A and B are shown apart, each in its own frame.
Chain A
Amino acid sequence: MRIDAAGGPNSPLTASRRASLTNSRMEIADRAFVTRARAGDTEAFRVLVERHSRGLFRLAYRMTGNGSDAEDVVQESLLRAYRQLRKFDERASFGTWLYRIAINCSLDMVRSRKRHGEQLSANDAAEQRAASCAPAPDRLALSGEVRTRVAEAMNELSAAERAAFVLRHYEGLSIEDVSRLLGCQPGAAKHSVFRAVQKLRRALEPLASFAK
């Protein structure tokens, strides 16, 4: 599996994901395929799957922090989308609608994992360590430690905080868009992002001495 380090709010990856959510040309093309898929054209739905599954995987991975859970979320989201295709308002953006379904699936997954008291598995930590792109030996141990801590800190967030933070920080959505996607008031979305950052800052405090 090729590892791709994702960037922050200004990275090209995030910018492209943001563009993928808002790109009107893609939305228009999506609309045509949605219309055909609603009429029973399975091949049209296949095109929609091919267009969106990679983006959904990235979002789901951020939300669940685990590759196999993310794959399950992608699967479940697309299945739910297909089943609810008749309820979809064709004037809306299919991508946004699909992302909303994926967020709900991810939240279900995160909540059920929390209920079962599961934490970051050894595999996930190894996956995170393997994501290193800086092989310098003196920094390798530290970067691995940072990644593990970051993943653990994410696990400490509530489902709503995690969702709001992922959408704001990694997907680069505005607070307004986050609230729309999560179906809450902008104030609540802002507060969730703030609570998430506050918790993350406290969790990562011990690494402060390596800050610069």
Chain B
Amino acid sequence: MTHPSEEDLVLNYYAEGNNRSETERHLGACEACRALYDSVEITLKRMDALAVPEPVSDFEARVWQRLLPELPLPKFPLLAPAWRWVTASAALAFMLGLAFLAGRHYPEPAKRIPPVGNPESRESLLEVAVGDHLERSQMVLTELANTSSSGPLDISFEQARAADLLGENRLYRQTALGAGDALLAGVLDELERVLLEIAHAPSQISPAELDELRLRLQAEGLLFKLRVLGANVRNQEQPRNPL
């Protein structure tokens, strides 16, 4: 009589194996094998005593909250073929440049100073704030774009500044949308994505990643747009704030 191996008995417990019916028949007839099988069965039933603590009810939300700051934002090529972005950005940059030049040559209407507290005054305060925000964002991006490094680069300082600018940027974007200023809202939206990417990037980035960011800034013409918009805002501010 051939006795089943211990391995066969384990497989039999899990209802696997090719010769299960033969093993079952043997277990009915052989006391030694039956005793061994019982021992396997008891052991495996005991293993069920290893309980798993059920995670807290908002476990998923907590996992997500912990995960979110670690998530690297999708790289630029993921979004669309690069040439499409380059073409679209170049066209947008051209249009912005055209609008800027047209603005400079168009005769300025007579300026009047709005009284404090009325909507126009609030609007001018917003313009000052947006102008300042655009300038600070431009500085962060310019610093990163002009940095060169042969090894890993620590950008934790720029990250902290980008994170600070993010909150403001959201507010200004929403305000611009509410005011129907699609151009400003659009640029702020692009800026927000770049700031988000910088804020959530690892604090040490490789020269290749830096190049990628630089190329992206160039392709989207974001720095140019910030400069143009910032200049426009400053031009509008000056007569109201002669300082």
Contact = CB atoms under 8 A, between A and B. Distances in A.
Interface of B is mostly: helix
Nearest to A143: B49
B48 interface: yes
Contacts of B55: 1, 54, 57
B29 interface: no
Contact of A1 (B56, B73, B79): B56
Contact of A128 (B10, B50, B63): B50
B106 interface: no
Interface in B42-70: 42-56, 59-61, 63-64, 66-68, 70
A78 B67 contact: yes
Contact of A150 (B6, B47, B52, B56): B47
Say whether chain A's binding surface is mostly helix, strand, loop, or mixed. helix
Interface in A51-78: 53-54, 57-58, 61-62, 65, 67, 71, 74-75, 78
B66 A6 contact: no
Interface string A21-40: 00000000000000000111
B47 to A, nearest CB: 6
Contacts of A208: 39, 42
Contact of B7 (A1, A40, A133, A190): A190
Given A2-B54, A62-B50, A190 B42 contact: no
A194 B13 CA distance: 11
B109 interface: no
B229 to A, nearest CB: 25
B40 interface: yes
A175 interface: yes
B71 A79 contact: yes
A62 B47 contact: no
Contact of B51 (A50, A53, A128): A128
A157 B40 CA distance: 16
Contacts of A114: none
Nearest to B78: A40
Contacts of B45: 8
Interface residues of B, number: 38
A5 interface: yes
Contacts of B63: 49, 53, 71, 74-75, 78
A89 interface: no
B43 A200 contact: yes
Given A8-B44, A86-B78, A200-B43, A1 B53 contact: yes
Contact of B52 (A61, A146, A190, A191): A61
Contacts of A4: 51-54
A26 to B, nearest CB: 15
Nearest to B57: A2
Contact of B16 (A147, A174, A200): A174
B14 interface: yes
Contacts of A174: 16
A38 B54 CA distance: 31
A42 B197 CA distance: 13
B208 interface: no
B71 A150 contact: no
Contacts of A38: 78
B74 interface: yes
27 contacts: A1-B55, A2-B53, A5-B48, A8-B44, A8-B47, A42-B68, A50-B60, A54-B55, A54-B60, A61-B52, A61-B53, A62-B50, A74-B63, A82-B67, A82-B71, A83-B72, A147-B49, A147-B51, A151-B50, A191-B7, A193-B10, A200-B43, A201-B39, A204-B42, A204-B43, A207-B46, A208-B42
Q: Which 9 A-B pairs have the closest CB atoms?
A: A131-B51, A40-B74, A4-B54, A201-B43, A8-B48, A50-B60, A194-B7, A53-B63, A5-B51
